[in-house]
Homo-oligomer: A and B are copies of this chain.
Amino acid sequence: MLYIPFVISIISLFFVYYLIVWIKKCDTGTEKMQEIFQAIKKGASAFLKRQYKTIGIMAIVLALIFLGVYGLRGNWIYGLQLTGAFLFGAFCSALSGLIGMWIAVRSNIKTASAAQTSFSKALTIALRGGAVSGIAIVAISLIGITLLYFVYTFLGYEVARIPSLIVGFGFGASLVALFAQLGGGIYTKAADVGADLVGKIEKNIPEDDPRNPAVIADLVGDNVGDCAGRGADLFESMAAENIGAMILGVALFPHFGIRGILFPLVVGAFGLVASIIGVLVAKAKEEDQPFKALNRGYFVTSFLAAVAFYFVTDQLLGNILFFYAGLVGILASIAFVYITQYYTEAKYRPVQEIARASETGHATNVIAGFSVGLECTALTIITIVLALILSFKLGQMSGFSGGGIYATAVATMGMLVTAAYILAMDTFGPITDNAGGIVEMSGAPEEVRRITDKLDAAGNTTKALTKGYAMGSAALAAFLLFSAYLEEAKLEVVNLAKVEVFIGGLIGAMLIFFFSAFAIKAVGKAASRIIEEVRRQFREDSGIMAGTSKPDYAKCVDITTKAALKQMILPGLLAVLTPIIVGVLLKAEAEAGLIMVGTIVGVLLATVLNNSGAAWDNAKKYIETGKLGGKGSPAHSASITGDTVGDPFKDTAGPSLHVLVKLLGTLSLALVALFI
């Protein structure tokens, strides 16, 4: 049965290869575009190379420490298994990020070039570029886990023991995801804030103006932050969900046997097929709204995934109740998308409130946006609560002991079954954003810009929606992970009334806040370097502003790279070391308190940061459409403040928190032996 996900994933990679070849054949644009593309490519590769070197060193050091610790405890074999899986997971995650970045950089220019002749073609390229990373990431995650399964079966391990042996894979994926998201997030927002503050506000030149020295760094940021970062995030979700669900499947071994364990992999494989079909049907006519085409693909994917879910559940589990649980997950993911839409789109009350508050100044704009962020936690949490209760009750109705928790895992699978398509839509965002930038910088005619603007607007919406989805799936995956942790740590009870467990909870919650402080501050620190550099260039060479001499883009890219990498270390280490220290000192139950309260707080704070950021962004865009005075009015100036405040919220700290809550789970799962 293991061959099903393996073979489907391999076939999917062939499809990815087909897409890459298709994209490569597209037109490469004007010479000017080529030049910009080369600069972006160079900057993005340089960053990723240096980032991976840093992450690689940290991963190897951590692996050696774990190996040493387990060795000292006389458990060399387990140590080797753990660190092997850990490094393999880290490698696969890094590979996923690399693919995402690689294809995004190449799709940008093709999308920009296609926009010169055809809206429909441009949209297809951008979506297919996104699909390359979406499908590749899900396929690699499935292949990684099945490969490990093959190896351990070959070594003669019992089928039901294997999930516990491959937990290191998830931890490795989490570690890389954390640093990728954090470093990329710091990079992209530092460059963005730096470029905007000096360019838009001080010099009053438009976005993506080639005179701005930080403009290439800004475009590079979209690729390394939004593409590589989100890719690593969802790779981690997939890996964590699969491994966590398999561990819970072990608990149901008496009922389902091996089928309960492999169920998540098979469902994931069919989800991949559904996503591929979704990508193929998502085409737009020349006069269509871009979002219509993307939506069509999404609904086809969801529908096919639900159908596949039904048959797989029927075949493997033979119990319709678990199909319903999966359906709860699919519905929850749709609910998250709608909630995010309500709180972040200009046509609804929250964003309009922020826009109106901008009329009374910077401060009222900030206050309004922040309270929208706080407010939207309610519906988010209610959705999570309902999804948990419903799926749990459905599972309990099956009458199997452990059925309730397993059903919550199935709901998570339902949520993640469309991940490849969602990720394609998500990466669509930065690709169109970059394409717009290239078009703007290359001085293409107004008509072309109109097309990329239309695509970019759709991209902004998909980015916000998929962030809601990523947060929701992170919440459910985290719940799944600590259910698996309790299973592995043989904990029946996490008694919050014990002082040490309560303290674990306090520290878990504190870690989330403290980590966010560093993540947000990191953007500020890195941005201030860039601001200084951009100001220096404008000051020292007046030809830049006049358009007669070219700014030193590479210098800005280099400064951003160094600053972002330097700033990611401390919060990253903090996130990894705190749960290890608490687990070792206060033991497994306190660690459970840390993970569980940390997850709750992390989900809430991530919701606040993501949605307030997106709402501020759209309030600004709403005013820019001419409302409340339009561009250049005091309200517009105030709305830019909110948008800038929201940048590190929604693109650095918020998404990093998704990764962090899962990291808490995979880390504890992998190191549980140290905490007992």
Residues of A within 8 A of B (CB): 193, 197, 201, 357, 360-364, 366-368, 370-375, 377-378, 381-382, 384-385, 388-389, 392, 404-405, 408, 479, 483, 486, 491-497, 499, 501-503, 505-507, 509-510, 513-514, 516-518, 520-521, 523-524, 527-528, 531, 592-593, 596-597, 600-601, 604, 608, 640-645, 648
Contact = CB atoms under 8 A, between A and B. Distances in A.
A510 B377 contact: yes
B641 A371 contact: no
Contact of A510 (B362, B499, B604): B604
A337 to B, nearest CB: 20
A494 B492 contact: no
Given A357-B524, A516-B374, A592-B496, A503 B362 contact: no
Given A503-B389, A506-B381, A510-B377, A648 B497 contact: no
Given A374-B513, A513-B377, A601-B509, A367 B497 contact: no
A374 B604 CA distance: 14
A193 B366 CA distance: 13
Tell me the interface secondary structure of chain A in the complex.
helix
Contacts of A527: 360, 364
Contacts of A601: 509, 600-601, 604
A592 B502 CA distance: 12
A366 B643 CA distance: 11
5 contacts: A361-B644, A377-B510, A385-B503, A509-B604, A641-B641
Candidate in A405, A483, A495, A600 with the most chain B CB atoms within 10 angstroms: A600
Contacts of A524: 357, 364, 367-368, 371
Contact of A494 (B371, B389, B404, B495): B495
Nearest to A516: B374
A441 to B, nearest CB: 24
A392 B520 contact: no
A197 B366 CA distance: 14
A502 B404 CA distance: 14
A333 to B, nearest CB: 18
Contacts of A496: 494-496, 501, 592-593, 596-597
A516 B374 CA distance: 7
A384 B506 CA distance: 9
Contact of A495 (B357, B367, B495): B495
Closest 4 CB pairs of A and B: A363-B644, A374-B517, A375-B517, A381-B510
A520 B367 contact: yes
A494 B491 contact: no
A514 B374 contact: yes
A608 B374 CA distance: 13
B641 A361 contact: yes
B505 A596 contact: yes
A375 to B, nearest CB: 4
Contacts of A388: 499, 502-503
A521 B486 CA distance: 40
A363 B645 contact: yes
A374 B360 CA distance: 27
Contacts of A370: 520, 645
Given A197-B360, A366-B641, 7 more contacts: A364-B644, A367-B644, A375-B517, A377-B510, A384-B506, A494-B495, A495-B496
Contacts of A528: 357, 360, 364
Given A197-B360, A495-B494, A523 B367 contact: yes
Candidate in A373, A496, A517, A600 with the most chain B CB atoms within 10 angstroms: A496
B520 A371 contact: yes
Nearest to A642: B363
A197 B359 CA distance: 11
Given A367-B524, A523-B367, A506 B641 contact: no
Nearest to A194: B360
Candidate in A483, A499, A507 with the most chain B CB atoms within 10 angstroms: A499
A614 to B, nearest CB: 16
B491 A486 contact: no
Contacts of A374: 513-514, 516-517, 520
Contacts of A364: 193, 197, 524, 527-528, 644
Given A375-B514, A378-B514, A597-B600, A497 B492 contact: yes
